[in-house]
Amino acid sequence: MPGIGYQDSGNEILRVQDLQLSFGGVQALNNLSFKVQKGQITAIIGPNGSGKTCALNSISGFYRPQNGKVFFNGNDITKLQPEKITRLGIGRTFQNIELYPSLNCVDNLMVARHIRMSRTSGVTGFLYFGWAHAEEIMQREKVEEIIDFLKLEAVRKMAVGALPYGIRKRIDLGRCLALEPEIMLLDEPMSGMNLEEKEDMSRFILDIVEEKVPSVVLVEHDMGVVMDIADEIIVLDFGRKIAEGTPTEVRGNQKVIEAYLGSTIKQNTS
Ligand SMILES: Nc1ncnc2c1ncn2[C@@H]1O[C@H](COP(=O)(O)OP(=O)(O)OP(=O)(O)O)[C@@H](O)[C@H]1O
Ligand SMILES: [Mg+2]
């Protein structure tokens, strides 16, 4: 499928162009445009209700913006179904963890492998039962690789619903990794975590970009984490982009400081 509507700028993987999304009287996204480069962590920050999740939902096809376009690798994906977008290579995690609570860690990741395989080999259906034995062994090896990478050995056979929140968040990251996406959209992967868990998660995200998935879009409230690991930051307020740039640029942006981030940034840099 050729690129439609703009000149591909080489290193760009995702482009959001003039997105307009409203619910009744609420303008959730207001002419939102931004680009994501390969090999980078792009953070989206902003106060509660500023449109961060709506932006991810519009990229991944869960919401249908009234106007605007989303391009992935130069192709217009605006009107595609979420499943199709996932299969094209956009993986995501949700603000509220989306795992099968009664399945164990391995099986949750196997379900994601099946979705991944349906993109590469034409296998369809929802669960992986009925796969050829050799195929299943190969997929289990991939899953064990992810379990090893995310240090989940101790919980691999435990029902996910019974595990602590921080571990479930990590398994959810593993579920997204199992899709082998080209880009990951992470919606508050560190919410509800203690400092140590946040440090672990930050490390995992940095390692993922280096070794496994070249681009990450990270929605996160913890400014310390964002300033530490993001290459680019997009700042939203009331659905509008009010600033963008490197952590240093955003930290020093008077508009951002005055609007709502001042005290948080100062706290984290003092
Ligand atoms: N399905 C929906 N129906 C109606 N309004 C919605 C819906 N989804 C989002 N909104 C509204 O759109 C606005 C942006 O919401 P969004 O969830 O994107 O905010 P957010 O930046 O992710 O906030 P938070 O930091 O609390 O997660 C809010 O006013 C929200 O109430
Ligand atoms: Mg949100």
* Cβ–ligand 1 contact at 96 (below 6 Å): no
* Cβ–ligand 1 contact at 209 (below 6 Å): no
Please state the rounded mean pLDDT for residues 64-78.
Answer: 97
CA distances to 16, 29, 147 from 49, rounded to whole Å, are 19, 10, 34
Least confident of 3-12, 180-189, 216-225: 3-12
Please state the rounded mean pLDDT for residues 85-97.
Answer: 92
Q: What dihedral do alpha carbons 26, 41, 226, 188 form, nearest 10°?
A: 50
pLDDT reported for residue 270: 43
CA distances to 51, 95, 161, 190, 261 from 239, rounded to whole Å, are 5, 18, 34, 22, 16
Burial degree of 47 (CB within 10 A; 0-12, 13-18, 19+): middle
In angstroms and rounded to an integer, the radius of gyration of the C-alpha atoms of the chain is: 19
Per-residue model confidence as pLDDT tens digits over 109-154: 999 998 777 655 544 444 555 556 777 888 899 999 999 999 999 9
Least confident of 50-54, 111-115, 230-234: 111-115
Least confident of 1-10, 36-45, 52-61: 1-10
Smallest CA-to-CA distance from 123 within 98, 87, 96, 148 is with 87
Please state the rounded mean pLDDT for residues 170-189.
Answer: 96
Sign of CA dihedral 233, 151, 113, 101: negative
N-terminal to C-terminal alpha carbon distance within the chain = 50
pLDDT reported for residue 10: 73
What is the CA(124)–ligand 1 centre distance, in A? 33
pLDDT reported for residue 50: 93
Please state the rounded mean pLDDT for residues 89-98.
Answer: 90
Please state the rounded mean pLDDT for residues 98-113.
Answer: 94
Ligand closest in space to the Cα of 221: 1
* Cβ–ligand 1 contact at 30 (below 6 Å): no
pLDDT reported for residue 261: 54
Angstrom distance (rounded) from CA 30 to CA 66: 11
**Domains, the chain, with CATH or none:** 1-89+183-270 (3.40.50.300), 97-180 (no CATH)
pTM, entire model: 0.89
Nearest CA to ligand 1 atom 10: 28
User: Per-residue confidence at 262, pLDDT binned at 50, 70, 90?
Assistant: very low
Look over the chain and give the mean of its residue pLDDT values, rounded to a whole number: 88
Q: Which amino acid is at 47?
A: P
